[in-house]
Amino acid sequence: MKKLIVVVSIILVSISSSVFARDVRTERHVHWDKTPIAVSLTQGKLMMVDFPHPVSLIKPSLEDMKVRNLSGVLYLTSLASFEDKELLVKDNNNGEVFILTLSSSNNSDAGYTRLIVESDALDNPSNGAQKSVGGEDGSINYLSLTRFVIHSLYVSKRLATPLEGVQRIAMHTKRHIPLLYNNQIIASPIASWRSEFLYVTAVQLQNTQDEATHLDAEKDIRGDWKSAAFYPSDILSKRGAKSDSTLAILISSKPFNAALNSVAGGDE
């Protein structure tokens, strides 16, 4: 795996040296299981609700609310206190309908400013013939999957191009996971995708130590991975610094949880 990691890391540097990992401490992930999703708003403060695909509002007019819908992300700002307002949101890709139950108060603190909704619903097959960001021959490989994750998370959805044959899947995981042997680095799953034979997952890494640390994919990470890369850097500054977090992009031949709990090479 070492050679693969080195090759991927070198190419990632050329993608964008100015992009830094998101702060997942302000994010909450929720899996859509047909149960209305509760969203707690603080009056006057912005809340982002991120869906797997572009969406439209079935009930677009809400009093005491300012709502903007841009490429699968709802920007919600409450203008007054209220309880149990229902918002219906339709996935334009596969027709899935999500139910959001909104509440707002002056002094509420949800603990997050971005809600990421995950769903098991499959992509619409009719949307498959799209431009690919895969290899030069259109193939899906470790590099093209790694690059796809970075584009998906850091490039505007309007500009990002899909990778044909790859679709986002629900992770069914916890907010924090024991990915690293060093338990002073917090690992928070962001999103996962699958192709026909491979899975790729993005995990945010946050350093809580008072000193910087260098990440080594072969020595520091638990699980059975085909490839691993860090973006934008494999060096984490001490906690509180601007660069105290980075993204781990992990590729496996099995779903994320199964790969995480496997011994490398033990069951293949």
- Name which residue leads in pLDDT, 209 or 8: 209
d(CA 135, CA 212): 35
Q: What is the pLDDT of residues 131-166, one digit of tens each?
A: 333 444 446 888 889 888 888 887 656 556 678 889
Predicted local confidence at residue 34, as pLDDT: 87
pLDDT at 23 over 70: no
- The mean pLDDT of 109-138, rounded to a whole number, is 53
Q: What domains appear along the chain, each with residue ranges and CATH number?
A: 2-16+132-260 (no CATH), 32-117 (2.60.40.10)
Q: Is the pLDDT of residue 3 over 80?
A: no
Between CA 94 and CA 106 the distance in angstroms is: 36
pLDDT in tens, 53-91: 788 888 766 788 888 888 678 889 889 888 888 899 988
| Assessment of whether the complete model's pTM goes beyond 0.95 | no
CB atoms within 10 A of CB 186: 19
